[in-house]
Amino acid sequence: MPIEDLFENPLVAKHLPVGVRHQLERFGEHLSLLTEMRNPRVLRRIGPSAVRGLILKQGVRDEPARIVSAHETIIDWQLRSDSPELQALYQKAKRLQWNGATDLDWSINVEPESNENALLPDDFLAWDHFESLGLHMTLKDRRHRLHQVLGWMLSQFLHGEQGALMAAAQVTECVPFTDGKFYGATQVVDEARHVEVFHRYLETKLGATFPINDNLFTIIDSLLRDSRWDMKFLGMQIMVEGLALGAFSMLHKLTKEPLLRELLRRVIHDEARHVSYGVHALKHVYTREFSENERREREDWAFEVALLMRNRFRVHELYESDFQQMMTRRQWNEMVDRSPGMRAFRTTMFSRLVPNLREIGLLTDRILPHYKRVGLAQYMNGRSATQIEAEDLVR
């Protein structure tokens, strides 16, 4: 019996103190995640990061994280240039730079819980689920909760952007091709700007910030420590940024708040380049240069990370701060899974990610049945990052 089922038993739920029940529920969820991993090499790679992120909760500590990385810095003194695609992307990135401090209208007044310019649509969460648990939510309560959900979401964007800033700097050092280093340097600037604008928006407009989600911490910790350049690419450029690009475009579609819309529109243009960079850089590497064993390990790693993001990205930080007295973790998960807004996010995020995995050769017949099993194979035939323009994502 999965450990979570135990807490549905009214006797157990009644007699356990909330804090203890919550710790056990969390532990059970994490344990099932680690025991589900099929490839021992993947478990060996992600395991230590998962212990740091999920069990020790290092992401929520007050002091800065210190992450030791063991990658090689590669310098080609001959400056061999052999990728016209990345050279073109570098030129484009220089042309399209913008200034987060002056190109956005920060004088716009944001009222997070007012009727006008709603941050999120009213039916974003499954309110009937709260009602069925005896929790009545007035319109005012709902607006307040949506404000918090957006704060949670933008906080995760912000933390992901910080991870991307560090990953882009590492990638610039360890990528073996010169054009990739030039392009990577522009991404470092892009990510710094994204950290700047999300941070400013959260601090000065929204006033609702949340710590980094344990699963996001685990992925960032794992890829920053990995010594292999392609894993940093796969983890950050393809997985984290691919999902983020889907999330940004969905939020751009849903929100009516004009400053956030313009901020997201600009960030989406940058992120579309970043994901393209990942696809260009890895396209031939996995299918032509790597051994089948090496490629398989990446294929399994990508699947496990996709699962980690799909199953675990459930606003638990808000649950832990406000709702754990009122419902079990499973009831919360059910509410999130049934919420129209969260479902839309999930669909868009994976419809952006899965085609990129196909494009770089990590969605073969070997792994496809697993994607089918968890309902992610439906996105297989969508357009990849190199087949889609940023304008399509904000239209």
In 174-190, which positions are buried (b, 16+ CB within 10 angstroms) versus exposed (e)? bbebbbbbbbbbbbbeb
Among the listed residues 22, 194, 298, 314, the single contact to Fe ion using CB under 5 A: 194
**Pick 271 or 359: Cβ nearer Fe ion:** 271
Among the listed residues 179, 226, 241, 257, the single contact to Fe ion using CB under 5 A: 241
Q: How far is the CB of 6 from Fe ion (least distance, A)?
A: 41
Side-chain-side CA neighbours of 66 within 13 Å: the count stands at 1
Q: Taking CB under 5 A as the rule, which mask of x and - marks residues 270-299 in contact with Fe ion?
A: -x--x-------------------------
Neighbouring C-beta atoms of residue 28, cutoff 10 Å: 18
What tokens appear for 344 in the block? 């839309």
**Pick 21 or 274: Cβ nearer Fe ion:** 274
Question: Cα 368 to the chain's mean position, in Å?
Answer: 22
The residue type of 73 is: T
Q: How far is the CB of 23 from Fe ion (least distance, A)?
A: 34
Q: How far is the CB of 246 from Fe ion (least distance, A)?
A: 13
| Residues 289-297: contacts with CB under 8 Å, at least 24 apart | 290/230, 295/361, 295/362, 296/39, 296/366, 297/39, 297/41, 297/42
Q: Does 376 bind Fe ion (CB under 5 A)?
A: no
Neighbouring C-beta atoms of residue 24, cutoff 10 Å: 17
* Binding-residue total with Fe ion (CB under 5 A): 7
**Pick 179 or 300: Cβ nearer Fe ion:** 179
Q: How far is the CB of 190 from Fe ion (least distance, A)?
A: 6
Q: How far is the CB of 18 from Fe ion (least distance, A)?
A: 37
Answer whether 252's CB lies under 8 Å from 265's CB: yes
Q: How far is the CB of 226 from Fe ion (least distance, A)?
A: 18
Neighbouring C-beta atoms of residue 356, cutoff 10 Å: 30
Among the listed residues 120, 126, 164, 390, the single contact to Fe ion using CB under 5 A: 164
Handedness of CA 186, 189, 194, 197 (dihedral sign): negative
**Pick 112 or 184: Cβ nearer Fe ion:** 184
Answer whether 354's CB lies under 8 Å from 363's CB: yes
Positions touching Fe ion (CB under 5 A) are 161, 164, 191, 194, 241, 271, 274
